A and B are shown apart, each in its own frame.
Chain A
Amino acid sequence: MNNIVILPIIIPLIMGMILVIFRKSIQFQRWMSLIAIAAVGSTSIYLMTQIKGHGMQTLQLGGWQAPFGVSMVADMFAVLLLATTSFVALCCLIYAFGSIGRERESYYFYPMFLFLLTGINGSFLTGDIFNLFVCFEVMLISSYVLLSLGGTKIQLRESIKYVLVNIISSFLFLLAVAYLYAMTGTLNLAHLSVRIAEVGQDGLMTTVAILFLIVFSLKAALFLFFWLPGSYSAPPTAVAAVFAALLTKVGMYAIFRMFTLVFYHEPQVTHLIIGILGGLTMVLGAFGAIAYWDIKKILAYNVIVGVGLIMSGLAAFTSTAITGSIYYLIHDIIIKALIFLLGGTMIHLTGTSNLKDMSGLIRTHPYVGWMFFIAALSLAGIPPLSGFIGKVLITKGTFEASYFWLGGIGLLTSLLVLYSVMKIFMNGFWGETLLSEDMEKGTTKGLMFPMGCLLAATVALGFGAEGIHEYVSMAAEGLLRPELYIEAVLGRNPMP
């Protein structure tokens, strides 16, 4: 029992509720949300040290023994994502201070931001499949509000699509949970793993597994990404960056959890399907990224390419590949936030998102330009930046598992990704300067600091990859050895 496990969920929840009560004082809201997210970040780092020393930390809510109660489980994989999430959320929050606008701030922007984090952190920490559904809903409902808050025409149009898609996928999620419960009689992830290992993963169980895969693919934008480019280009920059950095990652986390802990017995079916979907996602995403001339669209398609790459690590299902996926997942959270913020800043300055209408920004904004350049290299996986190590390990893992085609697609799409972001760089920053400083639509005042932090993080992660290797390999070990998770949750008690 370790009550600290619940803190990353309840700190943003409590703070969000307090901020609902004190709606009028904007300064108070800003500071308090900053403090809350920083507190979550430090809690997750503390949890990380605990897990390193004493293994996975668990909490049985209300003291009800697993599998009867709801378990919360903090393993290294979840906590690494938790820490990265808090860092990125902090940066996006600071960016929002300078860009989101008073109107949105006074209509519950900060509480919704915190509730979004409640849902995300809950999804990472929960050890119960129904609880995972609830945390997904908390996250999704907050994201509906954040997406539509402000009520511009494009936001409302995209919100309708986004809400519809997600309601359908939530319905399928519930259906899949019901099937699973009917077949195994339990909802606790560790207990599910035990039961399925006992009776074997037969055809019916694999079908349910694929239903789960469809559900999470909709959330993670794995192949079923038709909704993503539209809805991620509608909200204001800070919100779009949080969505791009975090929301698909939660879906991916759920796929990782389900297909390493519960449905790991038939990798030649399920993991091959994940691999094929991952490959298709990368190819289609890269096509989208090079096809468009709209910054927002290009960046949104880059999110999709990242999803495909991370999933091919899971498809390979070797120790190297999973380690690579975790590295890349951490990198992807940071770099997607950074590149969305940078792209948003360019749009903020020029007042347009069409690349053909902007040019020569480097003369007036050299820092933004060079930051974009470094971020673009990191996104494509150029050493020594943070994307490199993950990409290498994933590629190596896919080759080890003889999925040469998958590794090949990964490398090929990296080039297309590099082309797509370099297109933004060359068109946006090079060439004749069209706008003089007083003709610009906005300033970068207050926006540089959070982007600088994220940039420093991607550089540090690239150079310090060795430093966190111990943690990442521990996370990979936790994923590859389900018995560790099961023992942490159920203990050595006789199985009911």
Chain B
Amino acid sequence: MKKPNDIILHAVTKVAVPIILAFSFHLFFSGHHNPGGGFIGGLAIASALTLLFLAFDIETVRANIGVDFKVVAAIGVLLAVLTGVGSFFFDASFLSHTFDYFNLPIFGKTELATAVLFDVGVALAVIGTSVTTILSISEDR
């Protein structure tokens, strides 16, 4: 089979993927007070990965990102649930969250919230499930 000439797609992907990833991190962290959050951030990261899968073939990307996305989803849900379980030890209701302000070097006064851990779990679960779905559909010809 003749190899398709997709040099433009490759070149654009190489530039676009880091930008999409950076933007998705921005979305993820802004979600605490503004529109955004774990679900949307996760979807944006998944879209970057999907672009990689489209531009290069699945085997190449798999060789470079050596994770099983089903496991990523499972770890995500585990993380989200376990942050809820954490409230057991503080005699608070399941899924209770707390936050406080810390003085960090470089960042200065920063709000650190346990809800972010939950959100990381959500993001991982979203990345895992959406990439798994896309990969299983694309493998099915």
| Chain B 62-80 interface mask (CB, 8 Å, partner A; 1/0) | 0000000011011101100
Knowing A61-B94, A62-B94 touch, does A3 contact B87 (C-beta < 8 A)? yes
**Contact status A20-B70, CB under 8 Å:** yes
Minimum CB distance partner of B70 in chain A: A20
Expressed in whole angstroms, the Cα–Cα distance for A63 and B74 within the complex equals 26
Minimum CB distance partner of B84 in chain A: A10
**Contact status B93-A61, CB under 8 Å:** yes
Minimum CB distance partner of B75 in chain A: A21
Knowing A3-B88, A10-B81, A10-B85 touch, does A17 contact B93 (C-beta < 8 A)? no
**Contact status A17-B95, CB under 8 Å:** no
**Contact status A63-B85, CB under 8 Å:** no
A3 — which chain B residues lie within 8 A by C-beta?
87-88, 93-94
**Contact status A62-B95, CB under 8 Å:** yes
CB distance from B127 to the nearest CB of A (A): 15
B82 within 8 Å of A (CB atoms):
yes
Minimum CB distance partner of B79 in chain A: A17
A38 within 8 Å of B (CB atoms):
no
B97 within 8 Å of A (CB atoms):
yes
Knowing A6-B94, A62-B93, A62-B94 touch, does A17 contact B84 (C-beta < 8 A)? no
CB distance from A5 to the nearest CB of B (A): 8
B13 within 8 Å of A (CB atoms):
no
Minimum CB distance partner of A61 in chain B: B95
- Contact residues of B: prevailing secondary structure: helix
Contacting residue for A1 out of B77, B78, B93, B97, CB 8 A: B93
| Chain A 10-54 interface mask (CB, 8 Å, partner B; 1/0) | 100110011011000000000000000000000000000000000
**Contact status A60-B93, CB under 8 Å:** yes
Contacting residue for A63 out of B71, B73, B77, B96, CB 8 A: B96
B92 within 8 Å of A (CB atoms):
yes
Expressed in whole angstroms, the Cα–Cα distance for A63 and B98 within the complex equals 11
**Contact status B77-A17, CB under 8 Å:** yes
A13 — which chain B residues lie within 8 A by C-beta?
77, 81
**Contact status A59-B78, CB under 8 Å:** no
B70 — which chain A residues lie within 8 A by C-beta?
20
Expressed in whole angstroms, the Cα–Cα distance for A143 and B69 within the complex equals 22
B82 — which chain A residues lie within 8 A by C-beta?
14
Expressed in whole angstroms, the Cα–Cα distance for A1 and B82 within the complex equals 19
Expressed in whole angstroms, the Cα–Cα distance for A62 and B94 within the complex equals 6
**Contact status A18-B78, CB under 8 Å:** yes
Minimum CB distance partner of A5 in chain B: B94
CB distance from B10 to the nearest CB of A (A): 34
Expressed in whole angstroms, the Cα–Cα distance for A20 and B76 within the complex equals 12
B73 — which chain A residues lie within 8 A by C-beta?
20
CB distance from B93 to the nearest CB of A (A): 4
Contact residues, B82-129 vs A (CB, 8 A): 82, 84-85, 87-88, 92-97
Minimum CB distance partner of B87 in chain A: A3
**Contact status B74-A21, CB under 8 Å:** yes
Knowing A10-B84, A10-B85, A62-B97 touch, does A17 contact B74 (C-beta < 8 A)? yes
CB distance from A17 to the nearest CB of B (A): 4
CB distance from A18 to the nearest CB of B (A): 7
**Contact status A59-B94, CB under 8 Å:** yes
Knowing A10-B84, A10-B85, A14-B81 touch, does A21 contact B71 (C-beta < 8 A)? yes
A61 — which chain B residues lie within 8 A by C-beta?
93-95
Can you sample 19 A-B contacts with CB below 8 Å? A3-B94, A10-B81, A13-B77, A13-B81, A14-B78, A17-B74, A17-B75, A17-B77, A18-B74, A18-B78, A20-B71, A21-B78, A59-B94, A61-B94, A62-B93, A62-B94, A62-B96, A62-B97, A63-B96
Chain A residues at the B interface, C-beta cutoff of 8 Å: 1, 3, 6, 10, 13-14, 17-18, 20-21, 59-63
Besides the known contacts A60-B93, A63-B93, 12 further A-B residue pairs in the complex with CB atoms under 8 A apart: A3-B87, A10-B84, A13-B77, A14-B85, A17-B74, A17-B81, A20-B70, A21-B78, A62-B93, A62-B94, A62-B97, A63-B92
Closest 9 CB pairs of A and B: A20-B74, A62-B95, A63-B93, A17-B74, A6-B94, A17-B78, A63-B96, A61-B95, A17-B77
